[in-house]
Amino acid sequence: MKESLGQENGKRKSECYQNRLKEEPKGLKVKPINNGTVIDHIAGGQALNVLKILGIYGTTDATLSVVMNVDSRKLGKKDIVKVEERELLEEEVNRIALIAPAASINIIRDCNIIAKRKVDLPDEIVGVVRCQNPSCISNTAEPIQSRMLVKTKNPVLLRCLYCEQPLTENIAEYLI
Amino acid sequence: MEALLSQKPKFPSMFMKRHVLSMREFSREEIDSVLDLAASLEPYARGKKSDMMAGRILALLFFEPSTRTRMSFETAMKRLGGSVINLGPAEGSSISKGESLADTVRVVAGYSDALVIRHPKEGSARLASQFSPVPVINAGDGAGHHPTQTLLDLYTIKKESRLENLSIALVGDLKYGRTVHSLAYALSLYGADITLVSPPGLRMPEPIKSDLSRKGTPLREASDLGEVVNNVDVLYMTRIQRERFPDPVEYKKVASSYRITPDFLSRARKNLIIMHPLPRVDEISPSVDQTAHARYFQQSFYGVPVRMALLKMLIETGA
């Protein structure tokens, strides 16, 4: 009996939500932000890794919106990340190209887009990706950060500055 | 020869950075400049008196055992009139107290004009170069690089055979042997024709082979040494280590099929030379030592003039 009531309630809630979605503008899952950074066109499922690259994990004071696996004409499925009250620096967002080369960045100020651009991988990535070689000196307690040289951008080919081991696949697994 | 020694060397850009870390950083011109200087220093390697490095100190930081590399660096520095300081056994040093490599390097660099480092971790020499105000020479970093071995191999080939249009077989453990990886890369700069001869389980790693192919190096693979011995100018032998084979019977079988004897050499070209980074175990019969093909002891000696050349270029640039 309880179970059927629950199912009934669930159905009603679902209808309610469907109606509400119909009233909202199409595709709008999260309200626009007034100030901050919107990272759009992230490959579907990679938003949490994007946050990791930006150093946003664990506890944070930042107001964040993360939308994952929404339909995209360009990518099939895409993720969106909105970081309020923080204008990300060019060097910060460029690292995102490691896992989301098609991502685009919009800087919002007073509800207006003041800058819009694509990510572009820098020539060197410092302290973001660890070397996959367990015998590499960068994987020890030495006072250094990992340093990866970007040999090619499409497809992404990294080479450890220390042991010269290449890294091409599953880069997200090696994010620090 | 004296003129070459007295003229200010043309320091390539690498030497302005003052470190020797990997063969990947050498252009063909840079290699040639080291080999030319080494040739002019050979009389000093044989005992002619010199005070070129008088008052200079070379620090040897060997975190792993070494005989030839350590002793030839020491000989090179002393023959040029300089002095050498050694790290000594790790148990009695600050390493046993947990000091980082970065700190050890900073401290020892304060006592010396150049550092030679061998360390089990790959990339350790590059780390050392980031913390050292004096030149750093990589004398082997784990399975990574050993550039001075490659330079002395090239010097041997140049002196005892030829570097241009060379046909060479790299034989033995091509998977784990760091010397053959660096040598193959350096030979690709000279357009060498390379045949890789190894048991199936010890083939050269795929990324290195594709890197060489991309550079346009003619590359062949073979398992049978007998098929290639009459077609090459140089046989570069390496040791097949027992511990790579879980089955001792399999090891014996493989090791015996890569063993050079005078009989086996009857099929070889007259001017074939045999090289080996040493130590050898069973792969070259001692009776081959007496043949006109053997060059591995000369090769070992050539480590001295080549390392002299590097010390002279690096320490003088850093002066």
CATH number of domain containing A78: 3.30.70.140
Interface test with A, best of B101, B126, B136, B176 (most A CBs within 10 A): B126
Q: Which residues of chain B are within 8 Å of residue A138 when distances are taken between CB atoms?
A: 123, 127
Number of other CB atoms surrounding residue B227 within 10 Å: 13
The full set of domains in chain B, from first to last, is 2-145+303-318 (3.40.50.1370), 148-299 (3.40.50.1370)
Q: CB–CB of B123 and A137 under 8 A?
A: yes
pLDDT of residue A23: 46
- The answer to which of A14-18, B78-82, B180-184 has the lowest mean pLDDT is A14-18
Nearest CA in chain B to A133: B122
- Same domain? For A109 and A88 the reply is yes
* Residue B146 predicted with pLDDT over 80: yes
pLDDT of residue A3: 40
Is there a contact between B60 and B307 (Cβ–Cβ < 8 Å)? no
Question: Which tens digits make up the pLDDT trace of B202-212?
Answer: 899 888 898 88
Backbone angles phi, psi at B136, to 5 degrees: -120, 135
pLDDT of residue A150: 94
Q: CB–CB of B121 and A137 under 8 A?
A: yes
Q: CB–CB of A162 and B127 under 8 A?
A: yes
pLDDT of residue B12: 47
Number of domains chain A is built from: 2
Q: What is the pTM of this model?
A: 0.83
Q: Which residues of chain A are within 8 Å of residue B122 when distances are taken between CB atoms?
A: 133, 135-137, 162-165
**Helices B28-45, B68-79: inter-axial angle, 10-degree rounding:** 70
- Same domain? For A89 and A132 the reply is no
- Same domain? For A101 and A63 the reply is yes
- Same domain? For A71 and A52 the reply is yes
- Same domain? For A44 and A99 the reply is yes
* Bond from prior residue into B279 cis (ω within 30 degrees of 0): yes
- Residue A75 belongs to some domain of the structure: yes
Q: How close A168 gets to chain B, by Cα (Å)?
A: 12
Boundary of a domain, candidates A83, A98, A118 = A118
- Residue A161 belongs to some domain of the structure: yes
Q: How close B8 gets to chain A, by Cα (Å)?
A: 32
Q: CB–CB of A137 and B100 under 8 A?
A: no
Pairing of strands B19-20, B57-62: unpaired
- Same domain? For A52 and A113 the reply is yes
A141, A143, A163: residue with CB nearest B144: A163
- Residue A24 belongs to some domain of the structure: no
The number of residues in chain B equals 319
In order of A36, A53, A74, A81, A152, the CA distances from A46 in angstroms are 20, 11, 16, 10, 21
Provide the token pair at B254. 């493989």
- Residue A157 belongs to some domain of the structure: yes
Q: Which residues of chain A are within 8 Å of residue B128 when distances are taken between CB atoms?
A: none
Boundary of a domain, candidates A72, A100, A118 = A118
Q: CB–CB of A162 and B24 under 8 A?
A: no
pLDDT of residue B278: 92
Q: Hey, is A84 helix, strand or coil?
A: strand
Q: Which residues of chain A are within 8 Å of residue B144 when distances are taken between CB atoms?
A: 163-164
Nearest CA in chain A to B105: A142
The number of residues in chain A equals 176
- The answer to which of A63-72, B76-85, B107-116, B199-208 has the lowest mean pLDDT is B199-208
- Residue A15 belongs to some domain of the structure: no
Question: Which tens digits make up the pLDDT trace of B120-133?
Answer: 999 999 999 999 99
Mean pLDDT (10-residue bins), chain A, 176 residues: 41 48 54 91 91 82 90 90 90 85 92 91 91 95 95 90 89 86
- Same domain? For A41 and A100 the reply is yes
Boundary of a domain, candidates A118, A140, A160 = A118
| CA distance linking residue B31 with residue B52, whole number of Å | 22
Q: Which residues of chain B are within 8 Å of residue A166 when distances are taken between CB atoms?
A: 207
Q: CB–CB of A161 and B22 under 8 A?
A: no
pLDDT of residue A26: 55
What CATH number has the domain bearing residue A155? Answer: 2.30.30.20
A138, A141, A143: residue with CB nearest B123: A138
* Residue B7 predicted with pLDDT over 60: no
| Structure-derived torsion over alpha carbons of residues A93, A95, A98, A99, reported in degrees to the nearest 10 | -40
Q: How close A166 gets to chain B, by Cα (Å)?
A: 9
| CA distance linking residue A151 with residue A131, whole number of Å | 15
- Same domain? For A110 and A137 the reply is no
| CA distance linking residue B117 with residue B127, whole number of Å | 11
Is there a contact between A133 and A165 (Cβ–Cβ < 8 Å)? yes
Q: CB–CB of B121 and A141 under 8 A?
A: no
- Same domain? For A41 and A114 the reply is yes
pLDDT of residue B92: 56
Mean pLDDT in residue range B144-156: 95
Q: Which residues of chain A are within 8 Å of residue B126 when distances are taken between CB atoms?
A: 137, 161-162
Highest mean pLDDT among A153-167, B145-159, B194-208, B251-265 belongs to B145-159
Is there a contact between B158 and B35 (Cβ–Cβ < 8 Å)? yes
Specify the DSSP element, H or E, that contains B102: helix B101-109
> Domain range for residue A169?
124-174
CA angle B135, B138, B143 (to 5 degrees): 160
Read off the pLDDT band of B161 (50, 70, 90). very high
- Tokens 């001869």 sit on residue: B197
Residues in A lying within 8 Å of B, measured between beta carbons: 131, 133, 135-138, 140-144, 160-166
- Residue A60 belongs to some domain of the structure: yes
